[in-house]
Chain A
Amino acid sequence: MLLELKNIFKWVTVGGNRVFLLKDVNLQVQEGEFISIMGPSGSGKSTMLNVIGMLDGFDEGEYNFLHESVHKLKEKQRAQLYKQYIGFVFQQYHLIDELTVYENIETPLLYQDVKSSERKAMVADMLDRFNIVGKKDLFPAQLSGGQQQLVGIARALIAKPKLILADEPTGNLNSKQGEEIMDLFTQLNKEGVTIIQVTHSEKNAAYAGRTIHLLDGRIEQQVTN
């Protein structure tokens, strides 16, 4: 098992009242799964994704990731953990504007102290694989949305994570670009990468093996496609 959420609660206090963002969420994810999270706006999809990605904490419950109890870890160890195993893909791509395509993809390796020669080879591989060798010296602003998202995914993959968390990865793309990205995810999943994506689109959700429906911070139903 890759990860397990047990009775996760997360809330904020507004005017003395607890507003639940996540309410008793239980989820088990096996390595190699492809999962979609769906639900209306404000149902807690992104929050859940961030909790899984360890970017956000929770107030109650247990979270085990590869036999580590995340809720017991210190901030630093947690960062170490997600740095090593998790890659993130965002709706707004979130590339660093001041860095070129090449540099954007390279940056996670820098933070993991990968040697220069090794880095070069890894980035070159990735550029090659995504067919963006010709764009490596361009800045994000010079790319189309689809291309930016490709770079975003390349960056998420460069450190060879076990898990990709994608928050509406096709939300800002047209349907053709979206399809390409989803094909890419399917391909990656076949290669063994676990993928959890948040999406609004039934069509994209169908690429996954399992779809989780959230409502008001609660898992309403799980559907196996």
Chain B
Amino acid sequence: MFRNYLKTAFRNLAKNKVYSFINIAGLSIGLACAMLILLYTKDEASYDRFLPGVNNIYRIVSKEVNPDGSILMQSGNTGSFHGPAFASGVPEIVSFVRFQGDYVNIKKGTEVLGQDAHRVDSNFFSIMQFPLVYGNGKTALQQPDAIVLSETVARKFFGSADVVGKTLQLQRNGTFKPYTVTAVAKDCPQNSSIKFQMLTKMELSAEEISDRMNWFNFFLNTFVVLAPGADAKQVEKKMMRFYEMDARETIKIVAEKYNYKAKAQYTLQPYTDIHLSKEYRADNGMVGASNPMYSYILSGIALFILLIACINFVNLTVARSLKRAREIGVRKVIGSDRRQLIGQFLGESYILCFIAFVLALGIAQLLLPFFNDLSNKALSLTYLFDVKLVSSYAALFLVTGFLAGFYPALVLSGFNPVETLYNRFRLTGKNYLQRSLVVLQFSLATLLIIATVVMYRQFQFLVSKDLGYNDKHVLTVPNVTGNKIAVFRQELLKNPNIEQVAIRNNGFNVTLARINGNKELEFTMDWVDADYLPLYKIPVIQGRNFSRSFSSDTASAVIVNEAFVKAAGWKDAVGQVVDFWYNNKKYTVVGVVKDYHYAALNEVIKPQLLCNNEDNFGLAVIRIKEGSAAAVLPFIEQQYKSIVPLQPYSYEFKDISNQRQYEAEAKWKKMLLFGAVLTIFISCIGLFGLSVLAAEKRLKEVGVRKVLGASVTTIATALSKDFLLLVVISLFIAMPIAWLLANKWLQNYPYRAALSWWLFAAAGAGVVLLALLTVSFQAIRAAMAKPVKSLRTE
């Protein structure tokens, strides 16, 4: 019986190549997408779960709540003090380990290399049980000069992994000291929030250990292990009780001294929640923080594509059923009951689905590099090859086959044999289901196309908007400090291709100060020299720029931006005082710069304060002549290496690093484009199939019309019109939804491209044009056919 079905199915597939192609192509693309997304979500869900005992590991996180209930600060960071304090005060906390991101310079021969590293407590490996290749985790980090390397880093420095006992020269406090490798760990799995390359032991001063003021320092991750069976909520309560008791004096002092009224709240975040957490992100040495939104959007697109492919199957199978009606009738007459026919047709859909599934595995494998790039992952089909994945793929197969096959099976098996065998059979009704499904397909496709167009617009807007300063042909070189600055500048300016050199602080700093006597204002603070504003062509609109001829500038002058002036409520900014009361420094405003986008366009321009104090200088900013990069880059490197010998050299072009701020948008853009192209493609091949069937069904009608004198155009129009109407209906459904969604999404951006009507019109016109091409091809072919032929077949 099964063989008989199998044969009919295969012979049917082979006989109707167009439909087989449409169905298999659509389904395999849809399935491949679904497979990749499953892989992705599986990876997301598996994050960090490979660690033994991970369910008892938590991170201490904190929230500072203002008296009015608003949240002042929320972070996954704690200080060096919190771990030991809570461990001593709360019995359920069995142990703790602190973990802090670090970056060290390592001397290898005459070269100095920068290296990502982490500082951890000596018990790191007994809590985070990452497997070691060489060495003993219990003893590895006992000594202050011990380091643990990952296999890859060991190979990078020594050429092999078996390097326990060898030494590396690490820079600490300005000098290089030998550190001994005590263990080599396997590279951390890619679905790990901790991916250490090098670990050193955390060294703390006596003051850091005992001073209760450290309750108010937050700069590392503290992980704790709870006793088995301990209730995290109860532990949190005990932690708070302990904190309020232990820090009571300190809280009072801070409140008085700094007028600080916020109250700290400590909670425990399960280690496995960190990866997808929005409130307490994986940072400060933890990596891979992910937005669950990505999972949703990706899953949504995959679902769309799969759904559209299934709709093709349903529509084409039902539309084609006319051709198979006779077979169904015959089978019924010679003894098949309805259940057996349902089985046969479901079986056929499963056969087709199986072929598509096998192809999809191949497509998924092919697309994986591209997908990994899009999703920031290093996935492979084999890497997550386990029972769960295999069973979810099996489920995917079963659900898809059923989704595609069940309805047609039900319809086809219900045909009345007498009608089908005596040519009295015709598909009755207006076929609303088929039409609705086509509308659904094209609505989804249009939605994705509009989303893509809007995304492109916004991206284009972000990368091409005038930032208020000139970031072209500017490069930055870090680690230029102290007395090296003047020499470096002087040497660089000797090169005619280098136009200007300025210096600023490296990094990003947000702080607060008092203005107008008592008002506190939060702002971004940067340290720049007198050449900085001219180099970037940032206009000073009030007062003056810093100047080397005013010696007091470095000590007491500041320049603010317009946003600062507005926030402060100043009429005349120049001469106003900014009071950093906590370190007894007062600065006078000497100038105001026009607002410029010093941060990414994802944020409004916030108050900024520029200070001339050279203590924090560290990043050289170099403007070069247009087109001279190739000539000038080696020169800069050579100068750097001779002037700043013991630092790793690196550089970055400002416009490129600015673009990188929109990497997320760039990825979304690609993802959506990909989804949109696939959905419209699959929708169109489905429509093509339907138009072929419709033309065949109306072959006789077309013949009669031609004999009566209808032109090719009228006939082609008559044949295309119905389908185009459906597509136009989809546009009317998709556009308002797309408009709402696009608007909502654009609200995320303070600076956004206008949602003009022509964007929608263009997307809509594109969809209609594609549909027209698809349908009219077949319609014209049918209309051109010789009527004699079609009429004689009757």
* A interface residue numbers (CB < 8 A to B): 46, 50, 53, 55-56, 76, 79, 83, 88, 90, 92, 94-99, 103, 106-108, 110-113, 155-156, 159
Partner of B422, one of A46, A107, A110: A46
- Bound together, the chains give a CA A96 to CA B5 distance in angstroms of 12
3 closest A-B pairs by CB: A111-B335, A98-B11, A83-B335
In the complex, are the beta carbons of B337 and A106 less than 8 A apart?
Answer: no
CB neighbours (8 Å) of A112 from chain B are 335
In the complex, are the beta carbons of B418 and A56 less than 8 A apart?
Answer: yes
CB neighbours (8 Å) of B421 from chain A are 90, 92, 94
Partner of A107, one of B4, B15, B326: B4
In the complex, are the beta carbons of A99 and B418 less than 8 A apart?
Answer: no
CB neighbours (8 Å) of A110 from chain B are 1, 4
- Bound together, the chains give a CA A83 to CA B336 distance in angstroms of 8
- Bound together, the chains give a CA A99 to CA B9 distance in angstroms of 10
- Bound together, the chains give a CA A113 to CA B4 distance in angstroms of 13
Give me 14 other A-B pairs in contact (C-beta within 8 A), A94-B329, A110-B1, A111-B335 excluded. A46-B422, A55-B333, A56-B418, A90-B421, A94-B330, A94-B333, A96-B331, A97-B327, A103-B4, A107-B4, A110-B4, A111-B340, A113-B1, A159-B335
Assess whether B543 is interfacial by the CB under 8 Å rule. Answer: no
Assess whether B7 is interfacial by the CB under 8 Å rule. Answer: yes
Given the known interface contacts A90-B421, A111-B340, the answer about A98 and B331 at a Cβ–Cβ threshold of 8 Å is no
- Bound together, the chains give a CA A59 to CA B329 distance in angstroms of 22
Q: How many Å from the CB of B425 to the closest CB on chain A?
A: 13
Assess whether B334 is interfacial by the CB under 8 Å rule. Answer: yes
- Bound together, the chains give a CA A96 to CA B4 distance in angstroms of 11
In the complex, are the beta carbons of B422 and A111 less than 8 A apart?
Answer: no
In the complex, are the beta carbons of A98 and B326 less than 8 A apart?
Answer: no
CB neighbours (8 Å) of A96 from chain B are 8, 327, 330-331
Contact indicator per residue, chain B 335-358, by CB within 8 Å of chain A (1) or not (0): 111001000000000000000000
25 contacts between A and B (CB under 8 A): A46-B422, A50-B418, A55-B332, A55-B333, A55-B418, A56-B418, A79-B335, A79-B337, A88-B333, A94-B326, A94-B330, A94-B333, A96-B327, A98-B7, A98-B12, A98-B327, A99-B11, A107-B334, A110-B1, A110-B4, A111-B1, A111-B335, A111-B336, A111-B337, A159-B335
- Bound together, the chains give a CA A110 to CA B333 distance in angstroms of 13
Assess whether B648 is interfacial by the CB under 8 Å rule. Answer: no
Assess whether B787 is interfacial by the CB under 8 Å rule. Answer: no
- Bound together, the chains give a CA A4 to CA B604 distance in angstroms of 91
Assess whether B417 is interfacial by the CB under 8 Å rule. Answer: yes
In the complex, are the beta carbons of A99 and B8 less than 8 A apart?
Answer: yes
Q: How many Å from the CB of B781 to the closest CB on chain A?
A: 25
CB neighbours (8 Å) of B15 from chain A are 98
Q: How many Å from the CB of B336 to the closest CB on chain A?
A: 5
- Bound together, the chains give a CA A83 to CA B327 distance in angstroms of 17
- Bound together, the chains give a CA A50 to CA B333 distance in angstroms of 10
CB neighbours (8 Å) of B335 from chain A are 79, 83, 108, 111-112, 159
Q: How many Å from the CB of B20 to the closest CB on chain A?
A: 13
CB neighbours (8 Å) of A156 from chain B are 334
CB neighbours (8 Å) of B7 from chain A are 98-99, 103
Q: How many Å from the CB of B523 to the closest CB on chain A?
A: 78
- Bound together, the chains give a CA A106 to CA B422 distance in angstroms of 23
CB neighbours (8 Å) of A83 from chain B are 335
Most B Cβ at <10 Å: residue of A99, A110, A159: A110
CB neighbours (8 Å) of B4 from chain A are 99, 103, 106-107, 110
Contact indicator per residue, chain B 242-262, by CB within 8 Å of chain A (1) or not (0): 000000000000000000000
CB neighbours (8 Å) of B422 from chain A are 46
Most B Cβ at <10 Å: residue of A92, A96, A159: A96
Partner of B334, one of A97, A113, A155: A155
Q: How many Å from the CB of A141 to the closest CB on chain B?
A: 11
* B interface residue numbers (CB < 8 A to A): 1, 4, 7-8, 11-12, 15, 326-327, 329-337, 340, 417-418, 421-422
- Bound together, the chains give a CA A106 to CA B334 distance in angstroms of 10
B9, closest chain A residue (CB): A98
Q: How many Å from the CB of A53 to the closest CB on chain B?
A: 8
Most A Cβ at <10 Å: residue of B7, B334, B336, B421: B334
- Bound together, the chains give a CA A90 to CA B15 distance in angstroms of 25
CB neighbours (8 Å) of A92 from chain B are 421
B326, closest chain A residue (CB): A94
CB neighbours (8 Å) of A155 from chain B are 334
In the complex, are the beta carbons of B336 and A95 less than 8 A apart?
Answer: no
- Bound together, the chains give a CA A81 to CA B607 distance in angstroms of 89
Q: How many Å from the CB of A66 to the closest CB on chain B?
A: 17
- Bound together, the chains give a CA A144 to CA B694 distance in angstroms of 31
CB neighbours (8 Å) of A108 from chain B are 334-335
In the complex, are the beta carbons of A98 and B8 less than 8 A apart?
Answer: yes
Q: How many Å from the CB of A216 to the closest CB on chain B?
A: 19
- Bound together, the chains give a CA A94 to CA B330 distance in angstroms of 6
CB neighbours (8 Å) of A159 from chain B are 335
Partner of B417, one of A55, A98, A103: A55
Q: How many Å from the CB of B420 to the closest CB on chain A?
A: 9
A76, closest chain B residue (CB): B337
- Bound together, the chains give a CA A96 to CA B11 distance in angstroms of 11
- Bound together, the chains give a CA A56 to CA B336 distance in angstroms of 16
In the complex, are the beta carbons of A111 and B418 less than 8 A apart?
Answer: no
CB neighbours (8 Å) of A56 from chain B are 418
CB neighbours (8 Å) of B337 from chain A are 76, 79, 111
B11, closest chain A residue (CB): A98
CB neighbours (8 Å) of B326 from chain A are 94
Given the known interface contacts A98-B7, A103-B7, the answer about A111 and B334 at a Cβ–Cβ threshold of 8 Å is yes
CB neighbours (8 Å) of A46 from chain B are 422
A50, closest chain B residue (CB): B418
Most B Cβ at <10 Å: residue of A111, A112, A113: A111
CB neighbours (8 Å) of A53 from chain B are 333
B339, closest chain A residue (CB): A76
- Bound together, the chains give a CA A106 to CA B330 distance in angstroms of 13
CB neighbours (8 Å) of B330 from chain A are 94-96
- Bound together, the chains give a CA A79 to CA B338 distance in angstroms of 10
A108, closest chain B residue (CB): B334
Q: How many Å from the CB of B689 to the closest CB on chain A?
A: 20
- Bound together, the chains give a CA A94 to CA B1 distance in angstroms of 20
CB neighbours (8 Å) of A90 from chain B are 421
A110, closest chain B residue (CB): B1
Most B Cβ at <10 Å: residue of A88, A98, A108: A98
CB neighbours (8 Å) of B331 from chain A are 96, 107, 111
- Bound together, the chains give a CA A96 to CA B344 distance in angstroms of 14
A112, closest chain B residue (CB): B335
B328, closest chain A residue (CB): A96
Q: How many Å from the CB of A99 to the closest CB on chain B?
A: 6
Q: How many Å from the CB of A142 to the closest CB on chain B?
A: 14
- Bound together, the chains give a CA A153 to CA B4 distance in angstroms of 20
- Bound together, the chains give a CA A103 to CA B331 distance in angstroms of 12
Q: How many Å from the CB of B318 to the closest CB on chain A?
A: 19
CB neighbours (8 Å) of B1 from chain A are 110-111, 113
Q: How many Å from the CB of A105 to the closest CB on chain B?
A: 10
- Bound together, the chains give a CA A186 to CA B654 distance in angstroms of 98
CB neighbours (8 Å) of A98 from chain B are 7-8, 11-12, 15, 327
Q: How many Å from the CB of B352 to the closest CB on chain A?
A: 15
CB neighbours (8 Å) of B327 from chain A are 96-98
CB neighbours (8 Å) of B12 from chain A are 98
B422, closest chain A residue (CB): A46
CB neighbours (8 Å) of B417 from chain A are 55
Q: How many Å from the CB of A87 to the closest CB on chain B?
A: 8
Q: How many Å from the CB of B170 to the closest CB on chain A?
A: 75
CB neighbours (8 Å) of A95 from chain B are 330
CB neighbours (8 Å) of A103 from chain B are 4, 7
- Bound together, the chains give a CA A164 to CA B4 distance in angstroms of 25
CB neighbours (8 Å) of B418 from chain A are 50, 55-56
A113, closest chain B residue (CB): B1
- Bound together, the chains give a CA A79 to CA B413 distance in angstroms of 14
CB neighbours (8 Å) of A97 from chain B are 327
B1, closest chain A residue (CB): A110
